[in-house]
Amino acid sequence: MATADTLAPTTRRPNSRIVEWATTTDHKKIGVLYLVSSVAFFFVAGAMALLMRAELAVSGQQVLDDSTYNQLFTMHGTVMMFFFVVPFAIGLANYFVPLHIGAADVVFPRLNALTYWLYVLGAATVFAGFLTSDGAAAFGWTAYPPLSRETYSPGLGGDLWIVGLASSGIGTTLGAVNLIATIFGMRAPGMTMFRMPIFCWNILVTSALLLFAFPVLTAALAALFVDRNFGGHFFAPGSGGSAILWQHLFWFLGHPEVYIAILPFFGVVTEIIPVFSGKPLFGYRGFVLATLLIGSYSFSVWAHHMFTTGAVSNPFFAATSMLIAVPTGIKFFNWIGTMWGGRLRFRTPMLFCMGFMLMFLIGGITGIFLASPPIDFAAHDTYYVVGHMHYVLFGGSVFAVFASIYYWFPKLSGRMMSEGLGKVHFWLMLAGMNLTFFPMHQLGLRGMQRRIPDYAPSTGFGDLNLLSTIGSGVLALSLLVFAANMWRSLRRGAPAGDDPWKGYTLEWATGSPPPPHNFHRLPPVRSERPVFDERVRAAAPRESSDG
């Protein structure tokens, strides 16, 4: 994606390109670095998932031994949550928040570069576990002590996991500060809060969640590190510590983290659906209110992960966890209301938004089931939860990730992606996703617990597991189609022009890719759709365009 500077004179030393990217403080380049790194991690963690699905296809262990399997699901979860979904969202925010609000860069460009490199350093540290003699961390991405203490997980991989997560977590916290300050301090004249693109609102709320949630994780990680290396007893029940304490701290991060992983993507689809419906968002202020409600509720739901511990007030956390579904549900009506009466163009980004809505709907509904403590007593720690979470994070976040890529690739590269390949990608991914993850609900209800590399033939789990593994193959195929599309479009994609989709927001008012300082001129901002307004003005008869 280095086409941003192909127009620059090429008289520099051959390695200058690398030095330039390594030392850049340009928010767009840092955004691209985030996006490319996180998608690379998505492919790596996806390959891990394929290995696990291969192992589970039939009863008996054919592909992986127990230890490797445990490392793989630990790393799959860790990488997807901390090194893919959230950094991808931060990458989009880096690239588009300044463009959306009409700014030339973020407030703290050098801090911005630091956050990216802390993230890469953290990810590399976590991955380094694979090079140690005991392998990578193998206690699950949730790292429940006492299992994650040195007695039961003595390897160096666990320590690298802690240090790596802390490093990238600190980066994420600093990034959140930067984004919040940028949104509050760098908006162009006329860009009031209620004229900001919804994407920026969602990034603002996400950043607030990051700011409150990640320091708690960092503290918990520090305590776990002390326990493991310096004889601490924070999480040692035999010595006055508590095994449950970690779960509180972890999920106090972990559940806001789920909203951190979805709110930016609510923002993405809320940018795309209006553009391809030819209408403004239905109920802008209600939508913002719903996002703020989700943000504030999200800190009161954490212990619904702990219903079966017998250590929390189940009714309280059931009530909050069900309440949070309401503002989430409202958003569906905003989206449908936007489409209602519109002129819907089903280009690839819009198709992925449709997929997002359908799949996230299922994930949201099963979420209500799990918020009910008695149902959770049955479904907790089974494949039902695995199915639910993948409808939310794969059906939700990942579909929106691809919607955003198809939507903004022309802006980043100046070239269009292939619609044909894009549609093949979409339909394969929709089919693969449902084949892979839908059977998991039934498997969970029948009693297949999470995090197992094998099951006995007598359990009868074989057929649905085989179906799920076949589905994962279809998913892999769909991603190959995506990769081919990317490869082809970077080289031979049709020129995009400034505004290929008839967009609404300010990024479409500048070049593709935008110049280093973002805008040669800014259109006046008088609504949440300045570029739409300008298009209308340009089309109107001269006398009415007095401006």
Place of tokens 């198809």: 406
Place of tokens 């292939």: 418
Question: Given the complex with another protein, which of 87 and 158 has the nearer CB atom?
Answer: 158
Place of tokens 């300050």: 181
- Provide φ and ψ at 273, rounded to 5°: -60, -45
Question: Given the complex with another protein, which of 284 and 409 has the nearer CB atom?
Answer: 284
Question: Given the complex with another protein, which of 402 and 455 has the nearer CB atom?
Answer: 455
CA distance 31 to 200: 15
Does residue 140 interact with another protein by CB under 8 A? Answer: yes
Given the rule CB under 8 A, which of 134-142, 179-187, 197-205, 255-263 is the region that contacts another protein?
A: 134-142
Q: Cβ atoms within 10 A of the Cβ of 98, count?
A: 31
Smallest distance from another protein to CB 88, Å: 26
Q: Which long-range contacts (CB under 8 A, 24 or more apart) does 62-65 make?
A: 64/453, 65/453
Smallest distance from another protein to CB 334, Å: 8
Smallest distance from another protein to CB 287, Å: 9
Question: Given the complex with another protein, which of 146 and 422 has the nearer CB atom?
Answer: 146
Q: How many residues bind another protein (CB under 8 A)?
A: 87
Does residue 308 interact with another protein by CB under 8 A? Answer: yes
Does residue 462 interact with another protein by CB under 8 A? Answer: no
Question: Given the complex with another protein, which of 8 and 336 has the nearer CB atom?
Answer: 336
Per-residue binding letters, 421-460, with another protein (x by CB under 8 A): -----------------xx-xx--xxx-xxxxxxxx-xx-
Contacting another protein within 230-289 (CB under 8 A): 237-238, 242-244, 277-286
Does residue 372 interact with another protein by CB under 8 A? Answer: yes
Q: How far is CA 269 from CA 307, 407, 408, in A?
A: 33, 10, 12
Place of tokens 């209800």: 445
Contacting another protein within 172-211 (CB under 8 A): none
Q: Comparing C-alpha atoms, which of 168, 142, 304, 305 is closest to residue 224?
A: 142
Query: How many CA atoms lie less than 13 Å away from 216 in the CB half-sphere?
Result: 20
At 375, is the secondary structure helix, strand, or coil?
A: helix
Q: Cβ atoms within 10 A of the Cβ of 290, count?
A: 20
Smallest distance from another protein to CB 469, Å: 17
Smallest distance from another protein to CB 237, Å: 3
Q: What single-letter DSSP state applies at residue 148?
A: T
Question: Given the complex with another protein, which of 34 and 532 has the nearer CB atom?
Answer: 532
Residues 6 or more apart in contact with residue 10 via CB below 8 angstroms? none
Contacting another protein within 483-542 (CB under 8 A): none
Contacting another protein within 311-370 (CB under 8 A): 311, 314-315, 318-319, 322-323, 325-326, 329-330, 332-333, 336-337, 339-346, 354, 357-358, 361-362, 365-366, 368-369
Does residue 300 interact with another protein by CB under 8 A? Answer: no
Question: Given the complex with another protein, which of 109 and 286 has the nearer CB atom?
Answer: 286
Smallest distance from another protein to CB 365, Å: 5
Report how far Cα 452 is from the mean position of its chain's Cα atoms: 26
The distance in angstroms from the start CA to the end CA of the chain is 38
Q: Comparing C-alpha atoms, which of 63, 174, 78 is closest to residue 117?
A: 174
Task: Rule CB under 8 A: choose which of 155, 197, 254, 373 binds another protein.
Answer: 373
Residue 295 near residue 267 (C-beta atoms within 8 A): no
Does residue 66 interact with another protein by CB under 8 A? Answer: yes
